[in-house]
């Protein structure tokens, strides 16, 4: 597990090294998936020919309506803890 304390610049050397040793890379961001940190990870892996699968978890790139609480809002957008765990498990199969 590597904690990317900042989104840019991504440490390409470390990412490629870790990706080559991993079965799966999971990125988690409290922002939209499109154009986020996970997208940067995908770009670097593609540039270096690293085929490790990547699961990007975060908010969908669409208008997010209101909800009574954050838990409900996250669940409605596939971003609850249970939904994220299911996505990771599915990718590992």
Global pTM reads 0.84
Q: How many domains does the chain have?
A: 1
Question: Does the residue 2 lie in any domain?
Answer: no
pLDDT at 90: 97
Question: Does the residue 74 lie in any domain?
Answer: yes
Q: pLDDT tens across 44-54, in order? A: 999 999 999 99
**Would you say residue 7 has pLDDT above 80?**
no
Cα dist. 25→64, 65, 69, 73, 84 in Å?
A: 26, 29, 29, 25, 13
pLDDT at 4: 64
Q: Where residue 73 sits, what CATH number does that domain have? A: 3.40.50.920
Instruction: Evaluate whether 25 touches 32 at the Cβ level (below 8 Å).
Output: no
**Would you say residue 5 has pLDDT above 70?**
no
Question: Does the residue 64 lie in any domain?
Answer: yes
* Radius of gyration, CA atoms only, the chain: 14
Question: Does the residue 59 lie in any domain?
Answer: yes
Token pair in block for residue 20: 């080559």
């Amino acid at each position: 597990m590597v904690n990317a304390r900042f989104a840019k610049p991504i440490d390409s050397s470390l990412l490629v090294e870790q990706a080559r040793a991993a079965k799966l890379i999971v990125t988690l961001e409290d922002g939209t998936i499109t154009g986020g940190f996970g997208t940067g990870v995908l770009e670097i892996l593609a540039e270096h020919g690293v085929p490790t699968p990547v699961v990007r978890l975060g908010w969908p790139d669409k208008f997010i309506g209101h909800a009574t609480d954050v838990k409900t809002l996250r669940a409605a957008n596939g971003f609850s803890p249970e939904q994220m765990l299911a996505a990771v498990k599915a990718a590992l199969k």
